[in-house]
Every structure is written in structure tokens, then in C-alpha cells.
Amino acid sequence: MPPKPFLLFCFLLWGCRPAFSQLSPRTASYDIQVRLDTAEKKLYGRQALHWANPSADTVRELQYHLYLNAFRNSESTFMREAGNFGFMIDAMRENCGWGWTEVQRITDGDGNRLAMEYIAPDDGNPADRTVLRVPLARPVLPGGTIRAELEWTSQIPRAAARTGYNQDYYFLAQWFPKVGVYEPAGMRFAQAGQWNCHQYHAEGEYYSDFGVYNVAITLPAGFTVGASGVLQGVEEQGGEKTWAFRAEDVIDFTWAASPHFKEIKETHNGVQLRLLAYPYHEHLAERYFRVIKFAMDFCGSRFGPYPYPGLTIVDPPLHGMFSSAMEYPTLISTANLCFLPASVRTSELLLAHEFVHQYFMQMVASNEQEEPWLDEGITNYYEARIMDELFGPQSSTVDWLGFRMGNLESNRGEFFGLDNPQIADYGRFSWQFPEGSGHAISYSKTTLWLRTLEGLLGTEALDEVMGAYFRRWKFRHPCGQDFIDVVNEEVAKKFGNRFGENMDWFFGQVLYSTELCDYAVASIANTPVAPPAGIFEETEDCVRPEGKGEPRFRASVIVHRLEGLYFPVEVRITFEDGQTITEQWDGKARSREFVYEGRGRAVAAEIDPERRICLDKNFINNSRAVAPQKTGVRKYFLQFLFWMQNAMQGLSMLV
Amino acid sequence: MIVITAYTQGWNAVFRNGRMWLALYLFNLLLALLAALPFSGYLSRTIGSSLAAEGSPGGFDYTLFNDWLREYGQGLAPILDASLGFLLLYLLLSVFLMGGILLVFLQFAEPFRWGIFWRGCPRFFWRLLRLTVYFLLVQAAVLSLFGLLFYLTTGGFAIFEMETEMELVQPLYYLLPVYLLVAVLVFMVQDYAKIHVVQEDRKWLARPLRQAFGLVFRNFGSFFLLYLLNIATLLLLFGIYWWGSGPLSSAGSPALLFLWGQLFIFGRVGLRLLNLASAAYLYHRAVQHSGTEA
Ligand SMILES: [Zn+2]
């Protein structure tokens, strides 16, 4: 029997538990009761916002996002920008499935009815109603709190981008009036205290404060609901059910409902995994859980255990594809077409990606609208790491009928596949990337330079740096400079000044310039060196060149930097006797010559043989050999020949 | 059973005319080589001094392919254009050779003679070319019709109206077999029409076409069974190739894989001949049975 003081200690510890388990500052918490009218496709909501002023300012207004107003008409800022959502938006437009949110009433804790007006801080678009300004009757003092109660109604858009309904499938993301983030002076880019509450744009979604969400959802009894947080209970009354959820220390709350969902549950590391899939996708559960468990272990060992009790995975039906591939706190969605072969791993890569977002976006809550690379890029990089480790680096995304493509490889393909990869740097908001280049730059280019950073520091060191960044900024709102600061500190700690005073030279290039990287071996020359001949001080007679013996060679290898970016690289030179020399080159000069005398002839040279500099746009010119290299040429020539023969024989069948 | 006899007689004819088989394979190889040689030169110029392609022994290398296409892809366009020209040329050559092939097979027990073969080639060229064009148009119409049916049954690919993605696939369950059946029937009629044109040696095509239709209609069971048997043999050949190419590809031996591929092409040429020879036999038997008027 344990001694009594120990029991007392345990009891005290238990009593303190809520304080220990509070992970975030809980600045903006919500109690929401919402009723879904499936006939009218409407939401009727009542909500109370508990907002704590995080600053030393006196705050005189609140600003709310009314995201669903993006789908109110064709003139909203979202709709004007929504080129990438073409076919989804078309479906909404054609079916007159527009959506909106109207706040009927807002009162403060004292019962004062508050005024409200729509504002458009980004573009002044008078038709945009996605931001609501609410001047307060009584300002919120520094460190003070306010309770704001709202009554609102929303028309759910039909199959809009990321959110909406189609048939009897509902995916409610960005669905309730959500308060913006108040940034005190000095936080991120804020010069003075300010509301950061952008309009809803077609690109870039998240930036919110942490809080606790108590959400009660009432809808017809036949529906199954999946949502952020943990299910507290279900009550049935008069043919309707009310599902109560509680999500703690999250920045958002999302839910999905359908009468056709099949629920499949598993537990991993004490976390309940809940898959909601349509019956004909049930067989995919094993694939989904496999990658989620792997990603959970992968992230857990690098950044810390997933701290939430559950994770809900929604596998939308075909008509719900508008909601696929999305990340919300403790709820993610994937996409799959069940006639696709299992070796086309779209759903796996989406799940890996959306799970990593639980760390970068949800816990490290950067501003996706202002710096999309900070969550999407880092997430995409770790998606590639997870996929390549789980399924092999050259086949992790597709391995079908002889066609293979790894995840990291596909990122190189996407970024360098841009018509103009130099089209934009990162110094712009998510909706300001020209010609739809945002994805390739925020996701893929970031993946490439993070892989390059990994190549320079080593995988383990990079993971430690990223772990430090995560730990310092979890449940906070970092900006890009905060990330750079952590990298600088950690690299200095680990490597001293091996990479210079700090890593600003690296970020200055990859983040704030649009230059590309391309190293090439320009030439290899081997010139015979005549032995010394003539009159020398220590000789009396003329020294004649000896005709015998091995001839000496002066081997010269010239390498070029063809593009603007530079990184320290290795150059490996192979000599005719099979010996190699690996040179370290700072990679800065436009041209560099490596000269060797008396080592015999150089037969080949290769820059960055380990392919650490993933940003190098052309790996083919990274190496050169003196003798023609026939294996590859022969292989691809024979393949081409065989295809031609088959094509010809196939054509002859038409005769 | 007549179909089995035709099938075995077809094999007999193919082996008896082995020189023609070899020649047709060599034509294929030669023309493909002509099309592919510029590609080889271009490969040598672009990756021939790099080590990048040396380290990827087996399988598809996406990074290499991607870098190559992006950095050097512009030079590929004229090569592909020329390849298309060679494909067209091969199609015409196939029409040209068809007359010779059929004339040889219609000699039945005769030993192979180049004279007969070369006599048939120019003699029937224009007629077989016209026939090919007609049947290509028919095949295109059949394909368009079934494409349209697929489009209509999926509501114009209205994915947001569908319950599941199986609604995209399910129409194929019945449309695809019916399409394949119709396409195969058209090919079959085309084969017998060709044989009839060569056998009857008539200037105009309308009558042989009508007669070929009638012949196929009257002997549908045996003709179709033979066609299925030949298709099954072709599928078997594809299966054998697929079975062997996987291990050879991962073994990283391009030369062995190439040899395996050449055996496959040689087999494909042979099976094309088998189809014609066995059909010629069946045609002959059918005509004998129904008298002189086919
Ligand atoms: Zn993402």
C-alpha cells in the first residue's frame, strides 16, 4: 500500500492537471450551437466568443472573418481571384449554389447591442463582405477579456472551394464568424497594435488565435458527424441529434456530416484515429492508417508527440471532392478514386501532408495568408521526407506500369517546370503570386531549399533545427524572420561559423531573390607536361628531357556557376587509376579551375555527387567524363527504338 | 473442327513462309532504326559526356527524364516530328506489303517465292490503301459513337452529380466490351475484304466489300472464333513479354531487355501473319463450300 503522503501528492497532481494540460494561450475561445437545416441548406448559429486582449493596448473594436460571404456573388474578392478553383466554382455558379453569412445580432457581455460594418482591408472591394468590423461599446483593456455573443445565419454554398455541401454530404470549414488575430506592436510585422484580419482570398486560408471550442451541432438523426476535437456526447430529440464536441488549444473548428459515412477507428500512440469514409472506400482504411501512423511516429520523434487525443480523417465522396486534401485542427481530408491502382499514392501523400500541418499551421500557427511558405513549404518538405522514407525515394508518389516518381523529385519537377521559375520571390501575400505560381513557389521551391539546407547541415542536424523551431514557436504565431532566427542560432550552436557568421546568406538567396542555381563541369583537359630540360644551378651539363618513363600530365578541371545562386559544394575528380579527390568549393566564383600535376589523367569530374544541392536545376551538366558515356545513351536509345517498333507494328494492324 | 484446322494451317503457312516473316520484321526494325538514329545522336550530344545517366541501371529515372526534357527538350521536337513521318511511311509500307503477303498466303501449299510476293505488293496497293482509309473512317466513327455514349451515360462527366466515382467506371463495364466487339468485327470484315480483293482481283471495291460482308455474315461463328483464338494468342504473347521484361528491366541489362523486346516484336509480326494466313485458309474453305460466288 503506498504511503499516504504519496496519495496526497497524486491527488494534488491530478487537481493541477487542467493547468498542466493547457497547451496554448487560449486567446479566442468559442461556445457555438449550430443547427443544420438540410432542406434549406442553411446553418442557424448562436455563438459566444471569449476573447482575451493579449496586448498592452486598449482594444476598441473586434474584427471577424465571415468566410462564407466569399461565395455570396461573383464580385467578392475570392471569386475574382478564384481561377484555380475553376470547375468547382463553375458548378456553384451554374447551380446558383451561392453561400453567405449574415450576422443578425451581436451583443457584448453587458448586453449592449453592437454596431457592425463590412470592411475590405486588402483591396477596398465594396462587394466583399468577408470581414466584419464591430466597434465595441466598452473597450477591452490591456489583459482584459470580452464576451461577444452573435446570432447568425448562413446559406451553405453548393460544392464551393474547400467548404459547402453536395447531395447529402456536408463539409463545413470556415463556416462561422471567426475573430481575427490582434497583433501587439512588435509581433510579426506589427509596428503598432493591429487587427490582422484579411479578407478571404482564393489562396491562403489560416491565421487564427488558439482557444477552446465547445460546439454543439444539431442535424437530422441519420447523419454521422466528424469534427475537430473530441466528441463529448450525442443527444437525440424529435428526429434530430445534437453532437457535442470540445476542441482544446486549436486555431479553428471544422466538421463534416453525411448519412453515408462509415466509421472506422484505430488507436496509435494513445491517439484515437477515426476515419469517416463512404462504404465503397472502406477497404482503403488500411492504407490510410498506415501512412498516418508512420507520419505520427516520424513527427513525434522529431518535434514531439502529437498532443491531441484524436484525429479525424474524412475521405470525401466524388461529389464532395471540393473538400478534399485539406487540413484543419485534428481533422484532415484526403482524396481517392477507388479505380486508381494502389501504387498511385495520391491519398497517402495527401494524408502525410495534412498530418504534418497539425504541427506546422495548427500548432506553429504562422500566417498562411501572409507567408504561405512557412506552413505549406515546411509541411511539403516533411511530406516528401515521409513519403520517400516510407515508399522509396524514386517511387513514393507513383510506381505504376514502369513509371516511377518520387515525392521530392516531383517537387523539382513542379518548380522547375514553371514557365518562369524566377517569376516571384517570397515577399508577397499568398494571393499576390503572379500567374498561379504560388503553389510551385510556396510548396515546391521551399521543399527544394529545405532539402538543400538538409544537404548542407545533414539530415539529423536539420531535424534538430526544425525541432527547435517547433518547440520555440508552438502555440504561437511566428513569422519568417523568427524561423530564420532559430536556424541562425541553432546552426551557430552546432557548427560555429562553418557556414559563415549566420545563415542570412542562404535565406537572402533562397527567400528574397528569384535567382536559380546551376553548376556545371565545363571541361576536363589533360596536357602532357614535358620534364625539366636546360641548364640549372645545381647541374653543370645541359639536362635533356628523358624519353623514357611514364609521361606526366597536367589535369585541369574547370567548373562553372551558371546561375545566380551559390552554395558550398563538393567537386569529385576521378583519375585514370580509379583514385578520386573530393574538393570543397565555396561555389561562389563564376568559374573555378582545379589543377593536378603528376596524378595522371583526370577521367571524370562531378559537382555535388551526393546531390545535396537540390535547388540545382540541371543535374545532367553536374558531371562530365572524358570518354563518351554509353550506358545511358544505349539504354534510352534502345527503349526509343522499341517504342517505335511497337508503334509501327500497332499501326500496321490498321491496314 | 474447322477453326482449329485454320489456326494450325495458319501456323504452317507462317513457318513455311518464314523468309517473309523475317523480312517483315527486318522492315520494321530498319524503319524504326531510321527513326531512332537521330535520337541516339541527340542523346549522345546531351547526356553522352555526363555521368547522370550511368548510375540509373534499371527502371525509369524521373529526375533524369525531367531535367533532360526541360534543359534539352527543344531539340526533341524535330526528332519526334520526323518519327511521326516514319510512322506514316510505315503505314504506307504496310499497305504496300499487304498485297504481297495475301497473294503468298492465297497460294496455300506452294513454297515461298519472292516473285509472287513482290508481284502482289504494287498490284493491290491502291485498292488496299482505299480499303484501309474506308475502314479507318469506320473505326473512327465507331470510336466516336462509343465515346459519345460514354459521355452521355456519365452525364457529361458531371462528377459533382455522381454518387461515387464508380459511376465513371461502370458504363465502361458494358460499353467497353460492346465497343471492343464492334471494333473487332470491323477489323474482321476488313481482313476478309482484303483477302477477297486480292483473291478476286477486282478493280472496284464496292462488290468485294459487299461480298466480304455476306461471307462474314454466313460464316460468322467460325470466322469469329478464329479471330478470338488469334487475339488470345496475341494476348498470350503480351503476357509472356510482360512477365519477362520486369525481371530483365530490374536486372539492369539493357542489351538483354532489348533482345527480349526484339523477340516480342518478331512474335507480333508473326502473329499478324498468323491472323492473315488462318483467315485466308478459312476464307478459302468458306468459298469452296458456297461455290464460286462468294
Ligand atoms: Zn498544405
pLDDT at A10: 38
The 10s digit of each residue's pLDDT in B58-94 is: 678 999 999 999 999 999 999 999 999 999 999 999 9
Contacts of B128 in chain A (CB under 8 A): 655
Q: Assess whether A216 and A129 both reside in one domain.
A: yes
Sheet strand arrangement including A262-268: A262-268, A271-277, A310-315, A331-333, A327-328
A236 in Cβ contact with A341 (< 8 Å): no
State how far the Cα of B245 lies from the Cα of B227, in Å rounded to an integer. 27
Residue finishing a domain among A493, A510, A527? A510
pLDDT at A546: 66
CATH number for the domain spanning A580: value is: 2.60.40
CATH number for the domain spanning A68: value is: 2.60.40.1730
A167: left (phi over 0), alpha (psi -120 to 50) or beta: left
Residue finishing a domain among A213, A228, A259? A259
Q: Assess whether A500 and A538 both reside in one domain.
A: no
pLDDT at A490: 97
Closest CB from B87, B161, B167 relative to A648: B87
B125 in Cβ contact with B142 (< 8 Å): no
Tell me the nearest-neighbour CA distance from A142 into chain B, angstroms: 50
Distance A327 CA to ligand 1 centre (A): 7
Cβ contacts from A onto B, under 8 A: 194
> Could you tell me the residue range of the domain that residue B113 belongs to?
2-290
A655/B98 Cβ within 8 A: yes
The total of structural domains in chain A comes to: 3
A79 in Cβ contact with A131 (< 8 Å): no
Closest CB from A410, A604, A620 relative to B47: A620
State how far the Cα of A31 lies from the Cα of A210, in Å rounded to an integer. 14
Q: Assess whether A415 and A384 both reside in one domain.
A: yes
Q: Assess whether A84 and A231 both reside in one domain.
A: yes
Q: How far apart are the first and last CA of chain A?
A: 93
Q: Assess whether A480 and A563 both reside in one domain.
A: no
Tell me the nearest-neighbour CA distance from B86 into chain A, angstroms: 9
What's the half-sphere exposure (Cβ side, CA atoms, 13 Å) at A633?
A: 18
Q: Assess whether A479 and A540 both reside in one domain.
A: no
Mean pLDDT value of segment B211-218: 86
Q: Is B5 on the interface with A (CB under 8 A)?
A: no
> Which residues face A61 on adjacent strands?
A135
**Predicted confidence (pLDDT) at residue A408 exceeds the cutoff of 50:** yes
**Predicted confidence (pLDDT) at residue A472 exceeds the cutoff of 70:** yes
Query: SS3 sequence, chain B?
Result: CHHHHHHHHHHHHHHHCHHHHHHHHHHHHHHHHHHHHHHHHHHHHHHCCCCCCCCCCCCCCHHHHHHHHHHHHHHHHHHHHHHHHHHHHHHHHHHHHHHHHHHHHCCCCCCCCHHHHHHHHHHCHHHHHHHHHHHHHHHHHHHHHHHHHHHHHCCCCCHHHCCCCHHHHHHHHHHHHHHHHHHHHHHHHHHHHHHHHHHHCCCCCHHHHHHHHHHHHHCHHHHHHHHHHHHHHHHHHHHHHHHHHHHHHHCCCHHHHHHHHHHHHHHHHHHHHHHHHHHHHHHHHHHHHCCCCC
Q: Assess whether A533 and A608 both reside in one domain.
A: yes
The total of structural domains in chain B comes to: 1
Q: Is B257 on the interface with A (CB under 8 A)?
A: yes
Q: Assess whether A86 and A161 both reside in one domain.
A: yes
Is residue A355 assigned to a domain? no
The 10s digit of each residue's pLDDT in B9-41 is: 999 999 999 999 999 999 999 999 999 999 999
Mutate to test the interface with A, among B43, B50, B83, B125 (most CBs of A within 10 A): B50
Q: Are strands A403-405 and A398-400 parallel, antiparallel or unpaired?
A: antiparallel
The 10s digit of each residue's pLDDT in A599-624 is: 899 999 999 999 999 999 999 999 99
State how far the Cα of B156 lies from the Cα of B142, in Å rounded to an integer. 19
Q: Assess whether A122 and A229 both reside in one domain.
A: yes
Complex ipTM value: 0.94
State how far the Cα of B54 lies from the Cα of B46, in Å rounded to an integer. 13
> Could you tell me the residue range of the domain that residue A543 belongs to?
519-627
The 10s digit of each residue's pLDDT in A236-272 is: 999 999 999 999 999 999 999 999 999 999 999 999 9
State how far the Cα of A509 lies from the Cα of A172, in Å rounded to an integer. 40
Mutate to test the interface with B, among A407, A633, A646 (most CBs of B within 10 A): A633
The 10s digit of each residue's pLDDT in B88-146 is: 999 999 999 999 999 999 988 778 899 999 999 999 999 999 999 999 999 999 999 99
Q: Assess whether A36 and A184 both reside in one domain.
A: yes
Q: Assess whether A50 and A163 both reside in one domain.
A: yes
Can you list the positions of beta strands (E) in A66-144?
Answer: 100-108, 117-118, 131-140
Q: Assess whether A32 and A148 both reside in one domain.
A: yes
Is residue A375 assigned to a domain? no
Contacts of A628 in chain B (CB under 8 A): 44, 48-49
pLDDT at B291: 55
Helix (H, G, I), strand (E, B) or coil at A450: helix
The 10s digit of each residue's pLDDT in A365-404 is: 999 999 999 999 999 999 999 999 999 999 999 999 889 9
pLDDT at B57: 53
Is residue A632 assigned to a domain? no
Q: Is B290 on the interface with A (CB under 8 A)?
A: no
- Whole-model pTM: value is 0.91
pLDDT at A552: 86
The continuous run of DSSP H or E covering A416 comes out as helix A407-416
A637/B36 Cβ within 8 A: yes
C-alpha dihedral sign at B36, B42, B45, B49? negative
Contacts of B261 in chain A (CB under 8 A): 638, 642, 645
Cell numbers for B80: 519526334
